[in-house]
A and B are shown apart, each in its own frame.
Chain A
Amino acid sequence: ETGVTQSPTHLIKTRGQQVTLRCSSQSGHNTVSWYQQALGQGPQFIFQYYREEENGRGNFPPRFSGLQFPNYSSELNVNALELDDSALYLCASSLKSGDTDTQYFGPGTRLTVL
Chain B
Amino acid sequence: GENVEQHPSTLSVQEGDSAVIKCTYSDSASNYFPWYKQELGKRPQLIIDIRSNVGEKKDQRIAVTLNKTAKHFSLHITETQPEDSAVYFCAATSNQAGTALIFGKGTTLSVSS
Interface of A with B (CB < 8 Å)?
2, 4, 31, 33, 35, 40-45, 48, 50, 55-58, 90, 92, 94, 96, 99-108
Closest to A49 in B: B98
Q: Smallest CB–CB gap between A21 and chain B, Å?
A: 14
With contacts defined as CB atoms under 8 Å apart, how many contacts are there between chain A and chain B in the complex? 74
B99 engages A101 (CB within 8 Å): yes
Secondary structure class of chain B's binding surface, majority of residues: strand
**Chain B: interface residue count, which band?**
20 to 34
Interface of B with A (CB < 8 Å)?
6, 31-32, 34, 36, 42-46, 49, 51, 89, 91, 93-94, 96-106
B46 engages A102 (CB within 8 Å): yes
User: Which B residues touch A31, using CB under 8 A?
Assistant: 99
